[in-house]
A and B are shown apart, each in its own frame.
Chain A
Amino acid sequence: MTRKKVWVASLAAPVMIATLLLLAGSPSVTATDQSSAATAGVKIDNFSFGPQTLTVPVGATVVWTNRDDIPHTAVSTDGVFKSKVMDTDEKFSYTFAKAGTYPYYCTIHPKMTGQIVVQ
């Protein structure tokens, strides 16, 4: 694992992102770093996960950061991952070893939903 953060939205794949946005109809970010050490972030802000759909390569680590004044969780709907409660500025990370679509939500505020697409 490296500490390198891949904020690909502004660096590597604007066209692909635009395409994904059109296809998914919701904000998406794609991490295209093919190394197994890719890292991508989800910010929790104003009771929502941003981006709501995050696409990462197999092996990537996703880091959730809570920017709200209220605690949140990120819990896989299918039981794949489950964060502890994140208070303000606390983080949770999970490394996705297998391709697939992983819907998740905040168990405290279940209206908050998102998904990680691993490909």
Chain B
Amino acid sequence: MTDKKPDLIDQTLQDLNNDGIDRRGFLKCMAWAGTGLVWTLSGGIPVSRAFAKNIGKYAGKGGDFSFVQISDSHMGFNKPANPDVIATLQAAVNQINGLATPPEFLLHTGDISHLSKPEQFDNVDQILKSSTAKDVFFVPGEHDVLDDNGKSYLDRYGKSAQGSGWYSFDHKGVHFIGLVNVMNLKAGGLGSLGGEQLEWMEKDVKHLKHSTPVVVFAHIPLWSVYPEWGWGTQDSAQALAYLKKFGSVTVLNGHIHQTMQKVEGSVTFHTAMSTAFPQPQPGKADSPGPMKVPAEQLSSLLGITDVNYVRGQHSLAVVDSTLG
């Protein structure tokens, strides 16, 4: 588990731990995002290894499993930053279908659609049907709950969910919690979970053993990535307080259309790339709007996140891979 010398990712994580987001750490983050490193979290200590030569070790063990996070498919978006979001979502699914360890299910962390239109949800559902992973667990992004207070989203994806769409489930000993932080946003504020959801969450995790690995997924980051652009959740500290007792917590978010991660004690925060279009690095543009890049570069800024769980080690390996 020990590398001979600290490599890029170790330094990156240290930077993030020490300083929050800084430019140097961020650029490294972006550098490895496209290169396919795997890192595992074991006892709160992240250890990185090259993706290609190690991924095979996760395959075929009883009780181990993997799942894939996709995010921000923005079906219906047709502006210059990506005029064909159908093709890039299909490319993401093709990539998922080619993984050495087939994922047992998919998580979609929101902004499924661009404008909450039924045909946009239909298109995503249709494309995801071509995935070898048949079960897809969704949480809404702000683009999925426009105008109708989330009714069309809930009718389609939230029939067995609580409140505005939150829920939990267990899979092979791992507890998954899908949260909604895109509803009832207040002027000037950030993402919001709200009192009712927080109460539910407290009860939801109360009975769990401390050794249970927990995966929390929600659209807007549950850590303060860049509040100036609304990239954070104002009451996430309360949610995280309920998770303090657990030895392994992985928080998966979308919304910012780029990978970032941070480790705080036993909690690992990670954001996924979009399958539709990239957004600028925090503060590096006038606004967080879609970033237009040369067509040949687009697929290198879109991607999926593969998460592997190794039973007995309570460790999750998070692997970002780009579409091109």
Taking Cβ atoms with an 8 Å cutoff, the residues of A that contact B are 46-48, 68-71, 77, 84-85, 87-88, 103-105, 107-111, 113
Contacts and interface: CB of A to CB of B under 8 A. Distances in A.
B147 A84 contact: yes
23 contacts: A46-B286, A68-B287, A68-B289, A69-B77, A69-B79, A69-B81, A70-B290, A71-B143, A84-B147, A85-B116, A87-B115, A88-B79, A103-B187, A104-B187, A105-B188, A108-B185, A109-B142, A109-B230, A110-B230, A111-B188, A111-B228, A113-B187, A113-B188
B146 A111 contact: no
A85 B146 contact: yes
Contact of B187 (A88, A108, A110): A110
Interface string B224-257: 0000111000000000000000000000000000
Q: Which 4 A-B residue pairs are closest in the complex by CB-CB distance?
A: A105-B187, A47-B287, A46-B287, A69-B79
Interface in B145-164: 146-147
Contact of B143 (A46, A104, A108, A113): A108
B190 interface: yes
A70 to B, nearest CB: 6
Interface string B166-197: 00000000000000000001111110000000
B288 interface: yes
Interface string B124-148: 0000000000000000001100110
B262 interface: no
Given A84-B147, A110-B190, A113-B188, A71 B115 contact: yes
B114 interface: yes
A85 B148 CA distance: 10
Given A71-B115, A71-B146, A110 B81 contact: no
Contact of A48 (B80, B189, B287): B287
A63 B105 CA distance: 46
